[in-house]
Structures are given as structure tokens and as C-alpha cells.
Structure 1
Amino acid sequence: MDLSIVIPLYNEQESLPELHRWISRVVTEMGITYEIIFVDDGSTDDSWTTIEQLHAEDPHVRAVRFARNYGKSPGLQTGFERALGAVVITMDADLQDSPDEIPELYRMIREEDYDVVSGWKKKRYDPLSKTGPTKLFNATVRFFSGIPLHDFNCGLKSYKNEVVKHIEVYNDMHRYLPYMAKMAGYGKIGELVVHHRPRKYGKTKFGMSRFVNGYLDLLVLWFMGTFGRKPMHFFGLWGSVMFFLGLIALLCVLGSKLYSLYHGIPARLVTDLPAFYLCLLAIVLGVLLFLTGFLGELIARQSPGRNTYALRDEI
């Protein structure tokens, strides 16, 4: 199969028929084999009923429904696991992503041999309260990842099939799929300016909390990418530094006390000195950090299992 289109959704029943017709027209004109995979993230409206109707009319439609709302990342992961196409394209179901971009996203993977192509909504139809934090967020991700993309959070992306099979999307990591692909060894990442359309139906499902969660997830991803395979290099290093600094400082405190006793100079009790407890604290923290690194090494050697999500239906 040539192309898989993965579409996670939550309460988008109004947009689904129009989106399906648009995708079908565009891809049929391309003359390639394809499938459309809808992942219903526990919608509480009639989205699943609409998807069942689309499946009955079009054999290209496949679908999965979660038993409850898990989030966009599990939806993408579930779609990636089922994708059969040589090229996998993701897009949102709210009609803000234009299916007219599909041919170029497909071509850049097949002909220019990109591993990942990320959409860039250069002109956005969002309020300043959303575009301002988004620019700051993208600048931060560029700094940490070293990938010169302008819009990491754009849902319109294309991938080689092997890329999506070698990454695991969890928590809210869907924002960092290019970064995760790079960490997995797929470093040829391109960008395509895409059209951003105003929302036609419903309302956005994401609040301002996504920016806070996004930064926390970025720190986790950066740490895992840098020290995930070698946690002792981080915890062991700083644990050793703290331990030896604390030990040297403690020896200085004790040496000063012994010197005063030897020469008959009045001196305070060691246990009355704040420096004594700071030294002990540094030593204890150093030991704890070192042990954390050691345990991290043991855990890192274990093969992690993929997350599982309760499915209600699949067609």
C-alpha cells in the first residue's frame, strides 16, 4: 500500500463527512493505493456512528474507537501501529488542515527521501493569546532539539512507515514527533509551508495547560535523549561531585577543629557549625544521586513495553 492517513479525533462528527470526501477526491486523483485510519478518542457525540457510515460506503476507511478519552498521542500511536502504507500522513479532523497538501507531503517522502516532513502554518487564523506562546514554544524546542522547524505542533506531517514503527508516542509527546524521529536515527527532516484554515465546526480541545505540559514533556524528552541510555553519566557525575565536595569541606571543618584543639585555641563545637550539616547534606545527596544513576542503569537495560489502551471497537 502506498499511503496511510491517520486522523485522531474527539467529538468531530460534523466535520468527518466533508473531510472524508475531500481526502478521497485528492488521493483518488493521485492514483495511488491508500487507507484512511480514524482513531476515535472516546468521543461523546455521534462521531463513531458517522465513521461506521463512512466505512460502509468506502472500504478505504478503517477505524479504532477507544473506550475513553486518552489524548492525541495514544491516538496517533494506535494509528501508527495499524498503518500499512509506505508513507504515513497525520492530520487533524477539524478541517483546519487542508487535504490539498497531501500530494506534496507524499512526494517529498517518496521522491526527496525525507524521513519526516512537518507542516508549517506560516499564516495562522488564531488569536494572539495562542500564537504568541506558540512562537516561544517553537523557539524553545528548536534550541533543545537542534531541528530548524518553525511549527513543531502542526498536526499535518508525513513520515516513512519505518519511522512511525520505531518511535513510541505517549503522554503528550505528539508535539515532538520530529525530535523523537531524530533520536531514533531518522535525521532527514523537512518542512512544508501549509495552509491553515479557520475552524469550521466545534471548538478547540486544547487549553493553555498544553504549554506547561509541553515544556515538561520537552525536558523529559531531552533528558531521555541525552542520558536515557546512560543515566549514570548524569546522576553518577553530579553525585560524585557533590559527594567529594561535601567530603573535602567536612575534612576542612574537622581539620580546623583539630588544629584549634592542638594549639589550645577556643573553638565552637563542630555540631554547632552550620557548615558541618551542609557538608553532611552534600555527602548524603551525592550518595543518593549516585544510587539513582545506578538504579537507572539497571532499569535502562530492561526492554520497555508499549502502552496499551482499552479499545471498544475496530473496523
Structure 2
Amino acid sequence: MNKDLSIIVPLYNEEESLVELCTWVARVMDEHGFRYEVLLVDDGSRDHSWKVIQEISEANPNVQGLRLNRNYGKSAALQTGFDHAQGDVIITMDADLQDSPEEVPELYAMIQEQGYDLVSGWKKKRHDPISKTIPSKLFNATTRLISGVKLHDFNCGLKSYRREVIKNIEVYGEMHRYIPMIAARNGYTSIGEKVVQHQERKYGVTKFGLERFVFGFLDLLSINFVSKFKKRPMHFFGTLGSLSFLFGLIVTVWLIVDKIYRIHNSLLVREVTDQPLFYLALVAVILGVQLFLAGFLGEMITIHSGKKNDYLITEKTQQLERKMV
């Protein structure tokens, strides 16, 4: 039976909050009559999170669990959930109770009734220290500028997606922050935003440090490059290779012509190989050829490459095991 909703919750060492979260989600889902599933993706937790997930799943068959063999990061956990989700609308939320399940019905309606491909939450009023809010504002401003997607809060974990979107994108590394950008680059441009309630963390501590902004910026550059040239690497490497080769060729010809001119006019002549400019031209020619080869290899890899997940699932809850048989 098709589900109205799939709620994906990536988690790492969140044993204290899981029962409360799932109880809250179940109450909201029952109040609105949704056919739903909750996918709890344990990203290699070292506490008792998996044991708690198994107990919740036994008590509520709508809750299913997936356990990764080690901590891969939030992107891999989300991708695991995307791969297994069967709902018409997919909701992602964090496990730390800072995202409210009360937002889910409206996020669902914005997809099904208002026609959005993706709706991102905006934590307009945040309960975070200034050490997190200021870098976050800079991060969001930079992402808006580079991506062209006008969202206030790219990193909000509370998002909703049309099923087609999550089945046609792939996230890895730290790219979960840029899912709206990835979706837009894949043609899903109907992207909305909803102000959502941000609650204070009730249990545990944040799993992310300031290094996420450094890694996040590098991933932003990677996504921007890959989205433009993934299917046409020759356009990038070939253009650079052409410019480099042309520069080296022009300089070399100019040096040879200059020598011939000087010999013809009985002027002081300097050997071409004695001039540093000749070696600069030689390097440019060689580099141009190498860039061309990189472009050709990139084209060949693009043609023959296939999707391959980089995570390993070690366990599933019993309900999900039966469903997959």
C-alpha cells in the first residue's frame, strides 16, 4: 500500500530523544489521518540508539529502522532513507527534537496542494549561540549567491520533497546542506520556504562543529562545478586546454619569428632555448595537451559510470526486512 508520507530521521547517538520524537510524530499523523512510515536511520551510533529503535519498531509497525555499519555522516544517512522511502511526500527532520512534527501537515500540503517540488524550513527565530548563528548567516548568503536559489536557511533539517525529487538526486559528503541547489540543478525549480519553529535542544549536544562550514564551502564549490560539467567535462577541460595550448603555441611562434627577424637584420640574436619565455610556452603546450586528455577521460568515465552507494547497511528492523523480501 502506498504511503502518503515517509518521514526520514537521520540520527547519531540520540537514544534519549527517540521515544519522545516517535510518540509525537505518531500523534500528529493519527490526528490528520496520514498513511505514513518513519524511517529512523542510525548512522553508526555508539550509544543504545539502535536498541531503542528496535523497541519502538516492535511497538509501532509504522516506524522502521536502518542501521549503518559506521558513522558516515548525515548525507549518507539521508541518502539511505531516500533509497528506502515509499511515500508520495518525503519529510526529513532531525532527531534532537529541535524540529517540530506539528509542521509536517503544512509541509505535506505545500507539496501536494500548492505544487512545490521541495519546501525548505526556515528557522527564522533560532535558539542557538551567536557562534553558530553568524557563521550560518554567512554560509546561507554565500550559498544563495552561488546557487541562485533564494532560501534563507539551506541547512534546516526540516524539509519536504515530492517523491520524484529524492529518487532523482544523490547526496554524499556534506552535501545535505545543498539539496535545494542539487534539486534545482536537476530541473526541480519549484522550491518553496516555510517559517518553522525552532525548539531548544532538550537532550545531548550538537554533533557538528565549526569545521562543517569549511567542509560545506568546499562541497558548495564541488556541487557548482559538478552540476555544470558532470555530463560535459570536455567543455571545462577542453576550454582550459585550448587556451593553454594556444598561448604556448603563440609564444613559441613569436620567439621563432623574432629570431628569424633578428638574423635577417643582423641584430643581436639570443638562442630560443636560452629564454625563460620558451620554457613557459613549453609548459603551457604540455599542460594544454594534458587538459585535453583529462577531458577525454572524463567523457569516457561519464558515459560508463553508474550510481554506486558508498554506505553499508548492517541491520534492518523486522518490519522493513519483511517488506523488502
- 1-structure distance, mates of 2:313, 2:161: 25
Find the partner of 1:45 among 22, 44, 47: 47
Q: In structure 1, how many angstroms separate the alpha carbons of the residues matched to 2:202 and 2:294? A: 50
User: What residue in structure 2 maps to residue 307 of structure 1?
Assistant: 309
For residues 171-250 of structure 1, the aligned pairs below 5 Å read 171-250=173-252
- Please identify runs of 4+ aligned residues in structure 1 that moved more than 6 A: none
**Shift of the alpha carbon at 1:238?**
1.6
Q: Does 1:145 align with 2:147?
A: yes
Aligned residue runs from structure 1 range 1-315, under 5 A: 1-315=3-317
3-state SS, counterpart of residue 132 of structure 1: helix
Structure 2 CA distance for aligned equivalents of residues 54 and 12 of structure 1:
14
Structure 1 residue aligned with 2:322: none
Shift of the alpha carbon at 1:127? 1.6
- SS of match in other structure, 1:112: coil
Secondary structure of the residue aligned to 1:38 is: strand
Shift of residue 37, structure 1, vs aligned partner: 0.5
Counterpart AA for 2:148: G
Superposition CA RMSD, Å: 1.1
Tell which deviates more after alignment, 74-83 or 252-261: 252-261
TM-score of the two chains, using structure 1 as the length reference: 0.97
Spell out, residue by residue over 1:36-63, the C-alpha distance to the aligned partner (whole angstroms, 9 max, x if none).
1100001000111111111111111100
In structure 1, stretches of 5+ residues that fail to align are none
Q: State the percentage of identical aligned residues.
A: 57
Partner AA of 2:25 in structure 1:
I
CA distance in 2, matches of 1:256, 1:303: 49
- The DSSP-based 3-state class of the residue aligned with 2:87 is coil
AA in 2 matched with 1:257: K
Name the CA distance, whole Å, in 2 between partners of 1:127 and 1:269.
Answer: 66
Letter in 2 for 1:207: G
User: Which ranges in structure 2 are unaligned for 5 or more consecutive residues?
Assistant: 318-325
Paired with 1:112 and 1:156, the residues of 2 have a C-alpha distance of 18
Q: How far does residue 242 in structure 1 lie from its aligned partner after superposition? A: 1.3
Q: Which deviates further from its counterpart, 29-38 or 301-310?
A: 301-310
Distance in 2, matches of 1:177 and 1:134, equals 16
Aligned-pair CA distance for 1:268: 2.4
Return the alpha-carbon distance in structure 2 between the equivalents of residues 88 and 146 of structure 1.
Answer: 24
Deviates more, 1:300-309 or 1:67-76: 300-309
State the 1:306 CA deviation.
2.1
Shift of 1:189: 0.5
**How far has the Cα of 1:303 moved from its partner?**
3.5
Letter in 2 for 1:66: L
Amino acid at match of 1:191: E
For residues 255 and 305 of structure 2, the distance between their equivalents in structure 1, rounded to whole angstroms, comes to 47
Q: Secondary structure at the match of 1:45?
A: coil
Query: What is the one-letter code of the residue matched to 2:18?
Result: L
Matched residue SS, 1:43: coil
- Distance in 2, matches of 1:53 and 1:267, equals 87
Give TM-score, length-normalised by structure 2. Answer: 0.94
1:254-287 Cα distance to aligned partner (Å, 9 max, x none) = 2112221222212322222111111111111111
Deviations 1:158-195 (A, max 9, x none): 00111111111111111111111112221111000011
Q: Which amino acid aligns with 1:21?
A: T
Report the AA paired with residue 186 of structure 1: Y
Q: How big is the shift at 1:147? A: 0.8
> 1:254 and 1:297 mapped to 2: Cα distance?
36
Residue correspondences, number: 315
